[in-house]
Amino acid sequence: MMPSAHAMLQIEDLVFAYPEGGQAPVFDGFTWQVNAGESWAVIGPSGCGKSTLLYLIAGLRQPTSGRVLVDGQRVPRPRASTGLILQDYGLLPWATVWENVALVMRIGRFYRGKAGSGLGLRPYPREDITARQVDGWLARLGIENLRDKYPGQISGGQRQRTAIARSLLQQPNLLLMDEPFASLDALTREDLQQLIVDLRRETGVTPPGASARGEALDRREGVTTVIVTHNIEEAVFLGQHILALDHAPNTSAHVIENPEAAHAAYRDQPTYLQKCTELRSALTSR
């Protein structure tokens, strides 16, 4: 069956159990769909399989059975047009902020000649990323003055800005985030959540370095985002759709609609608090 034109992510009858664990499956007959341009939050108790789900989508784990399709294709290995931002430890400690962001450019050049083009299953990153685009993203993320610093010299928030810049430099159409702000203080966390909202709005177009040179826009739809979080407020603020996972095994997708999310002013509205309460009771009643 051909996937729908707008489906960015299709998970069908997914069964996944850790081969090394010998335990019950984390997902058993799980089906879920994400359309292009949507913003999703995945929430659930520790050990429910939130991160596992993200790694399956990222191509870092393979399903025991069933299908995981990204942009209509299976993901036997990581796909360069999927961005992945982790909680921590994602930056190379021996590379400066600039070098960390430019890593995707370096990997692209490393495999020069092998890379395909287009936005489909692209195991190799783009070859056409320029140093100017790196500079552009550093400036957009407000970290251009840290370009020569090493990750060990900057704050957690600045490290995550670096990780976000790096992910966006590869011009992803799917951005996966695994508790990206969990280790940050409350204000920095809110600041970065706001940044994600702003970037979602902006990244439907083109990277800052490219637009400066008047390059053709190569994406029309906004980036699809899936953020895994254990924080109810974060899920409500960022997820227009919230997938609530339960203790393993997860057999069905429990989705809470939250259409007002992913707007800058949402946090100050009464509906935001109502939705937080609704999500909290939905999670505790299960």
Residue number, 155 or 274, with CB nearest to other proteins: 155
The answer to whether 170 contacts other proteins (rule: CB under 8 A) is yes
The distance from CA 140 to its chain's CA centroid, rounded to whole angstroms, is 18
Cβ contacts of 275 within 8 Å, gap of 6 or more: 236, 258, 260, 261
DSSP string for 32-70 = EEEETT-EEEEE-STTSSHHHHHHHHHTSS--SEEEEEE
Q: CB of 276: closest distance to other proteins in angstroms? A: 29
Nearer to other proteins (CB atom), residue 58 or residue 242:
58
Compute the distance between CA of residue 80 and CA of residue 119 in angstroms, rounded to an integer.
Answer: 9
Work out whether 84 is an interface residue with other proteins (CB under 8 A).
Answer: yes
Q: What is the C-alpha to C-alpha distance for residues 239 and 209, in angstroms, rounded to an integer?
A: 28
Residues numbered 46-65 forming contacts with other proteins, rule: CB under 8 A: 55, 58-60
Q: Contact, 244 vs 196, CB < 8 A?
A: no
The answer to the question of residue 122 lying near other proteins (CB under 8 A) is yes
Rounded to a whole number of angstroms, the minimum distance from the CB of residue 113 to other proteins is 14
Total residues binding other proteins (CB under 8 A): 39
| Least distance between other proteins and beta carbon 130 (Å) | 16
Which span sits near other proteins by CB under 8 A: 116-124, 137-145, 200-208, 215-223? Answer: 116-124
Q: Among 108, 156, 207, 249, indicate the residue that binds other proteins (CB under 8 A).
A: 108
Contacts of 106 (CB under 8 A, 6+ apart): 99
Question: Least distance to other proteins from the beta carbon of 140, Å?
Answer: 19
Kindly give the interhelix angle for 156-169 and 131-140, rounded to the nearest 10 degrees. 140
Please tell me whether residue 250 binds other proteins under the rule CB under 8 A. Answer: no
Nearest one of 125, 148, 140 to 210, comparing CA atoms: 140
Using the rule CB under 8 A, is 157 a contact of other proteins?
Answer: no
Binding site for other proteins (CB under 8 A): 55, 58-60, 77-78, 80, 82-95, 103-104, 106-108, 110-111, 122-125, 149-150, 152-153, 163, 166, 170
